[in-house]
Amino acid sequence: MKKWETREWWEKGNWSPRDIAALKKEERERLEKQPWFEHGKPCRTDIFHQRNWQEEFEAVWGKWGSQGIGNLKKVGLSMPMEYELNPAFLEEPAYYRMYKNALPNLDRQRKAIADLGKLYESEGVEVIWLPPPETPLGPYGFMRAFSTPGMTPTRAGMILMRMGRAGVSGDIYNGRWFDLCYRIGCPVYHTMLHVGEITPIYLAEHLVMISDGYPTPADGALEYKQLLEAVGDEVYIAHNPGYIERWGFPAGGTSHLDMVLGVVDLGLAICYPSFMDYGSIAYLRSRKIRLIEVSPEEFVEYGCNVVLIKPGVVAIPGAAKETIKALKKEGVRCLEFDSTESAKAGIGGPDCVTAKLYREPGPSLADL
């Protein structure tokens, strides 16, 4: 960084003639590279206004977004807090999504998240540790699952979603995400007008599946679809089943698409078909995606909830033993995440606890 790029240099005000000359020369060189600059004239706005947003985004905001299956380069993780041990949660396990009606072992859960961070770093992925909120109390009561950041920015910035349920940290996701975006320097692309808890699953570069279901009404899924299409994605909407009053597997349905579908390589995915509509399965097959079926026993251990680090390399719950065995036969390298405590408390597997902040462009289905 040049000295005149710091506040301290300007505050001192004791600028040498050599520094001033160098500053002017540097700025002149920058200006003369811009097509809208002409000496002695105002900015050529007709040229400036013709730029596509992508031409200036990286210069202003840096690199963000995960709209494909290229190499993952930056993630966000949140360390589980004492908030998760609130005894009130056990009084209403269905409302608070306590899948196994038990509070987690916090030390073991924290170790699992810390180990996941080390796993990412060993694969060349930058890890940003996201701070927890100051209070666990939201607008509708206590919240939980703060270790599931849920942030999925596009290459135009973050979509701030409206959560479809109370009882989890979704009560304040919108506000918390806004605060976290400010802290890490990620721009906000759009604030959702409709309710929509979306976990996009990218099959290839700019080819994505999202879903509606009990936390996401159809108008929310459509709004999210339009936002992704505006930044270049081809979008398919799946339909997740839900509950009426009964809770727990298998009666409770599934909330998010990453619970039932995980891409592990170009043209290869794992799925739990019992909680996917048949039209979505047919769509995947029509796009030449081969499917490996996850068993009911491993589904409840978040067996489908994986993070693709690069094509053929995934972070996956260690409890999904048979799925891991099947993936290894396909040449997929499986990096295991201890999901024991996450599964107990209904917090999630690797995808639920990982904010995929930036991914390099990767292969398309045309590369199959």
In this predicted structure, what is the pLDDT of residue 194?
Answer: 95
Which positions of the chain have pLDDT values less than 50? none
Containing 13, the helix (H) or strand (E) segment is: none
Tokens of 105: 């072992």
Whole-angstrom Cα distance, residue 269 to residue 303? 12
pLDDT at 172: 66
Q: Cα 65–199–69 angle (5° rounding)?
A: 45
Domains of the chain: 21-50 (no CATH), 62-367 (3.75.10.10)
CB within 8 A of 155, min separation 6: which ones? 54, 57, 64, 65, 67, 231
pLDDT of residue 170: 66
Task: Report the pLDDT value the prediction gives residue 173, as an integer from 0 to 100.
Answer: 66
> What letter represents residue 202's amino acid?
Y
Q: Is the pTM of this model over 0.85?
A: yes
Grouping H, G, I as helix, E, B as strand and the rest as coil, residue 284 is helix
| Encoded tokens for 55 | 């031409």
Per-residue pLDDT reduced to its tens digit, 104-117? 899 999 999 999 99
The pLDDT tens digits for 216-264 are 999 999 999 999 999 999 999 999 998 888 888 888 888 899 999 999 9
Identity of residue 104? P
